[in-house]
Structure 1
């Protein structure tokens, strides 16, 4: 697939950790792309039409549509192999992809559930996170609709399930413990260089660590409840590892062209 002369479009949510995985991979490989941001909820019809799914991120490359952060990274690795995200050693590659799967399937949903349990009590700030790029009238409409949609949001993330939020806190703690323990003297989770394992772990833990990057750093002023959320993990060695990986390996945006959805 020749993608060198085809415009890439990343259909995304701002401040979303799965979307951050895709953004990071594109920027790490210096792939110019357009980012098209949607509002969670109203995005559903457009995503179904584009990709047959309600989830983001979705990467559109000419007539090809790739859905999901892992699939997007796989496609980028195949077409933009340098710098690599997959280790060249076969066993290390298996280990890195297994770590990606664990974070994608277990950690990502858990940390999102725990954080949204807090954000559901700060709807004005939630609107600020996801609608800041939209025109004023859109932001006002979205903010007015959030109290009505609160129940649907909680249901979609299983926030109301008994013990679900507590489980989200536990898996966040477990993931931070794991990266702190597994990062060796090199500072990396697999082998001695940055890979998809480090990118995935850092991106999916970003909502607990507030890393120093404009694509994921939570805007100020923050509600006390959200500051307390970050404070819970701030001193953890795993959170320090996340911020270090961001400083070392998260580039600034590559041609951050944006278009309204």
Structure 2
């Protein structure tokens, strides 16, 4: 069976989970423990970031490389179109989504966690001790803002990322007004990349992630709840309903279980 080394809250891992479900490939989720688990991941794959897919003796790192491997090794339900123009557009959108939505959504999530105590505690794993939840919730937003400055996630960077994502979501909504998918008449890598990477902006409504039920359908205020982006999120909901399998049906828990262990995404 395929093994996916992941973080439950990694939107790049979610991109791969969507690809595996679309192709109908069973897989085992192995939750990587931040720190020590990433050292083991490095020994296996040569890098510390998730996702990493293991297929027998073959190890593939990076979500784009995994997508290309899956199309080559498991050609049913192809992810990348054959038509040259559609193929070029698909790969272009996928690369853009990785760099734009993938990067900026982490910043706006950090900003939301800094500003909203309830959101900060609700996103913690369900097995987090109450004392730790209280400690995390009590952290002043100013402290988190200072920590964010050290990694490029300060208030100015969060605001710039938010404005960029507003434009991204508006553009995607316009593209999807009269089209079922971003490229052609069937889903491609472009669709699953955009859908999966938008996970941190708004969590899926269904039972697709090992998260508290109260977080389903919730997301970044000002982005997840704006009517201007309703077309995009309705489209994403349909994509999930059609192709993403619920937790109970699509995976077997790994050695460390499937419960999220960190909110630090790859």
Scaled to the shorter chain, the TM-score interval is 0.7 to 0.9
Aligned partner (choices 63, 75, 79) of residue 69 of structure 2: 75
Do the aligned partners of residues 175 and 230 (structure 1) sit closer, same or farther apart at CA in structure 2, a change above 3 Å counting? closer
User: Post-superposition shift, 1:166?
Assistant: 1.2
Partners of 1:49 and 1:213 lie apart in 2 by: 35
Confirm or deny: 8 A CA contact 2:170 2:228 kept in the other structure: no
Partner residue of 2:159?
166
Aligned length: 246
Q: Secondary structure at the match of 2:180?
A: coil
Partners of 1:141 and 1:49 lie apart in 2 by: 34
Partners of 1:80 and 1:96 lie apart in 2 by: 19
Partners of 1:155 and 1:81 lie apart in 2 by: 45
Map Cα deviations across residues 95-126 of structure 1 (whole Å, 9 max, x no partner): 10110000001211101111122224567865
| Structure 2 residues without counterparts, runs of 5 or longer | 257-266
**TM (normalized to structure 2)?**
0.78
Confirm or deny: 8 A CA contact 2:202 2:220 kept in the other structure: no
Partners of 1:56 and 1:102 lie apart in 2 by: 19
Partners of 1:29 and 1:166 lie apart in 2 by: 37
RMSD over equivalenced CA pairs, Å: 3.2
Do the aligned partners of residues 71 and 141 (structure 1) sit closer, same or farther apart at CA in structure 2, a change above 3 Å counting? farther
Map Cα deviations across residues 56-99 of structure 1 (whole Å, 9 max, x no partner): 11111122211111111111111111111111211101110110
Do the aligned partners of residues 33 and 156 (structure 1) sit closer, same or farther apart at CA in structure 2, a change above 3 Å counting? farther
| Structure 1 residues without counterparts, runs of 5 or longer | 1-6
Tell me, yes or no, if structure 1 residue 211 matches structure 2 residue 169. Answer: no
Partners of 1:50 and 1:34 lie apart in 2 by: 17
Partners of 2:116 and 2:20 lie apart in 1 by: 31
Do the aligned partners of residues 227 and 85 (structure 1) sit closer, same or farther apart at CA in structure 2, a change above 3 Å counting? closer
Confirm or deny: 8 A CA contact 1:14 1:215 kept in the other structure: no
Aligned partner (choices 45, 48, 56) of residue 51 of structure 1: 45
